[in-house]
Amino acid sequence: MLITRVLVLTIALIAATATAHAQISDGIVKIGVMNDQSGTYADITGPGSTTAARLAVEDFGAAKKGLKVEIVVADHLNKPDVGSSIARQWYDAEKVDVIVDVPTSSVALAINQITRDKGKAFLVSGAATSDLTGKACSPNTIHWTYDTWALANGTGSAIVKTGGDTWFFLTADYAFGHALERDTEAVVVKNGGKVLGKVRHPFPTADFSSFLLQAQASKAKIIGLANAGADTTNAIKQGAEFGIVKGGQQFAGLLVFISDVHALSLEKANGLVLTEAFYWDLNDKTRAWSKRFAEKQHGAMPTMVQAGVYSAVLHYLKAVEALKSDDGTKVIAKMKEMPTDDPLFGKGVVRADGRKIHPMYLFEVKKPAEAKGPWDYYKVRATIPTEQAFRPLDQGECPLVKK
């Protein structure tokens, strides 16, 4: 059975140095980009992640270094059974060496296990669950970009410190939503805030009017949205209708991406506070790269997940080059050894538990009048330094971390 390769990036053999091929499995480094190509998360990850991976291979200069790199793509439909089928097929039959991206925590956890069983490599950019560097940590996985702890910590503590000390949670009723709510509640309480109430809505929900009424009745200053994708955007859109923001309350998006803001438009989303690891307009380097990205993606700016894919693939290739091997476990170990450096996240490090660390940013969505151009959506409210952005190494219960 074949899965037809949609994207193949092959490098000419001419300048190849034979030694570089010696320990690379069948001479090719095969990167599998697996994510949601057509569903709720397609704009957050999707084809954009493939573009980001391609840019990374390009910037790495695989051709000049004589490394043959190929990229294959698959859509996991946000289902763990589909994702694990594809992963098995890729590892067993297609000789894929590393899987990248994978949004949707349930899928990422499944692939985390399979990658470990087969000794390959897994670079997660899309999924959120902090368990990937906690209970489920693995010597074959690195969790890039962000996780629930970082989001909860960033958004939660920053908001409480700036006066948003009473909260009401609107939580999606599934494991991810509960985890996000739990992590954020812990942070809010730790910083002296109070949680006035919470309501769990079925996942997914189209109509939030009833839950928004309850949020309004609580009179909490902050309405924390412990959900993602369409649930978040629907809640915000309907919140505008019910005059939530006009009534003096503020939404805190616990998992919001720039593509969501784009879909909502500034009229609806202005005032929203969120935490992300990357924004295209942060500095010259991010701007330059994002422009290249946008050219290939019909003008859409990269989300932090897509930027993370670029960063992860780049670092992976550097490690492969240094090791002259694409053996999963060894490459991951090498990636933890080597410090990271790329134009998008700057200098960083991969920790023993597989957590890549870098600064996180607290953003606020601009009002329509403040935006000076397309995609000019965020203003920086705070920068959370690397040391504080992620869960401390010793709190994760990761068996790989020596106490």
Q: Which residues bind another protein (CB under 8 A)?
A: 1, 3-4, 6, 37-40, 42-43, 46, 73-75, 79-82, 84-86, 88-89, 92-93, 105-106, 109-110, 113, 173-176, 199-207, 209-211, 213-214, 216-217, 229-230, 233-234, 237-238, 241-243, 247, 259-260, 263-265, 268
| Cβ neighbour number for residue 194 with a 10 Å cutoff | 12
* Rounded to 5°, angle at Cα 358 from 344 and 327: 80
Indicate the residue among 16 and 82 with the shorter CB distance to another protein: 82
Output the smallest distance, CB 116 to another protein, in A.
Answer: 9
Indicate the residue among 9 and 338 with the shorter CB distance to another protein: 9
Output the smallest distance, CB 119 to another protein, in A.
Answer: 15
Question: Residue 64 in 3-state DSSP?
Answer: helix
Indicate the residue among 247 and 399 with the shorter CB distance to another protein: 247
Backbone phi and psi for residue 212, each to the nearest 5 degrees, phi listed first: -65, -35
Output the smallest distance, CB 302 to another protein, in A.
Answer: 16
Alpha helices in 247-303 (DSSP H): 258-264, 266-269, 284-296
Indicate the residue among 27 and 80 with the shorter CB distance to another protein: 80
Distance CA 19, CA 175 (A): 48
Indicate the residue among 204 and 346 with the shorter CB distance to another protein: 204
Output the smallest distance, CB 21 to another protein, in A.
Answer: 27
Cα-based distances in Å from 386 to 55, 144, 305, 349:
26, 13, 18, 10
Q: Where are the beta strands (DSSP E) in 202-358?
A: 222-226, 250-253, 273-276, 340-342, 346-350, 356-357
Output the smallest distance, CB 46 to another protein, in A.
Answer: 8
Inter-residue contact 46 to 7 (CB < 8 Å): no
* Closest listed residue to residue 21, CA positions, set 13, 32, 31: 13
Output the smallest distance, CB 230 to another protein, in A.
Answer: 6
The Cβ-side half-sphere exposure at 180, using a 13 Å CA radius, reads 31
Backbone phi and psi for residue 154, each to the nearest 5 degrees, phi listed first: -60, -60
Output the smallest distance, CB 28 to another protein, in A.
Answer: 19
DSSP 101-136: E--SHHHHHHHHHHHHHHT-EEEESS---GGGGTTT
Indicate the residue among 204 and 271 with the shorter CB distance to another protein: 204
Output the smallest distance, CB 323 to another protein, in A.
Answer: 29
Output the smallest distance, CB 141 to another protein, in A.
Answer: 14
Indicate the residue among 185 and 321 with the shorter CB distance to another protein: 185
Indicate the residue among 261 and 331 with the shorter CB distance to another protein: 261
Residues in Cβ contact with 362 at an 8 Å cutoff, skipping those fewer than 6 apart: 154, 155, 158, 273, 274, 275, 380, 381, 382, 383, 384
Which residue's entry shows tokens 């994978």?
102
Sheet with 356-357: strands ordered across: 340-342, 346-350, 356-357
* Closest listed residue to residue 153, CA positions, set 121, 131, 114, 182: 182
